[in-house]
Amino acid sequence: MTAIVAKAKKPRSASGLQRRRPSRAHKTFYWMVVPALVLFVILHTVPTLTGMFFSFTNYAGYGEWDFVGLSNYVNLFKDDRIMASYGFTFLFAITTTIAVNVGALFIAILLNSKIKFQTAFRGIFFIPNILSVLIVGYVFNYLISNNLPLIGQALGIDWLSSSILANPDLAWLGIVGVTAWQSIAFSVIIYLAGLQTVPLELYEAASLDGASPWRQFWSITFPLISGFFTINMVLALKGLLQAFDQIVALTNGGPGTSTESVAMVIYRGGFQGGEYGYQMANSVVYLVVIVVLSLLQLRVLSRKEADFS
């Protein structure tokens, strides 16, 4: 009887081992992931951990260094230049995020409607996204500094008669305008993808009920693409908080330090000013700020999605 039971159980355990044993194809997939994982660790994880280590030192980027504990982090909150850069970056990022999403949603709705040359227009509106940020910045720098003042003088507008990029109070608006113009293209694509998921039958039923286009937008369109709105808001704010290239091309942080972003302060101090350890502490703080803001934004907007559904 015992022998019979043992024979009956043996095939079961063997088949179970065969199920648990990874197939040859699965092993191949794992080996394909290994090179990417190694590169990620070498190019991302190791530099990040190294930077965090040096944030507790007085390392200047060269020569000897000593541990200074948390003094770098404490001094950050006493540094007026650092605080000013955070203020400018938040103002720029929030304003541009709003402008990008409002403009992108409006353009996406127009491009999603039944118009001639729809595909061609979609391609044209996406062109800014494939252009180099630096090239776009330098081109607009010339236009804003030379052509726009001529228009202002012809129209008799005093504040527009000289380059706004040379005005400490208006330079940030020029950066916002150029950055929004280039960033809208990517957001338009995401909104178009969302609009394609809205059934046309809903609009037909709403029209029969006498709903206006504005009412259809708030009651049908926006609730059904709220998930895409969340994605665009989070991606836009996260990316704009790291603004660097467009500021370098347009104002280089000027006039004075009025348009210095956090990324620019980190670069200048860490790689040009002998403040490597100090700016590494700034980088760690800013990393935490971006992560917290992104998670908070995602949570709030996700709740709004639930309210619409």
Q: How many whole angstroms separate alpha carbon 282 and alpha carbon 82?
A: 8
Our CA dihedral for 171, 127, 125, 165, rounded to 10 degrees, sits at: 10
Higher-pLDDT residue of 213 and 173 is 173
Residue 293 and residue 89 in contact, taking contact as beta carbons nearer than 8 Å: no
pLDDT in tens, 50-73: 999 999 999 998 889 999 999 999
pLDDT in tens, 102-152: 999 999 999 988 888 888 888 888 888 889 999 999 999 999 999 999 999
pLDDT in tens, 237-290: 999 999 999 999 999 998 989 999 999 999 999 988 889 999 999 999 999 999
Residue 118 and residue 272 in contact, taking contact as beta carbons nearer than 8 Å: no
Residue 263 and residue 290 in contact, taking contact as beta carbons nearer than 8 Å: no
pTM above 0.95, yes or no: no
The SS3 call for residue 242 is coil
Give the CA angle between residues 221, 225, 226 to the nearest 5°: 110
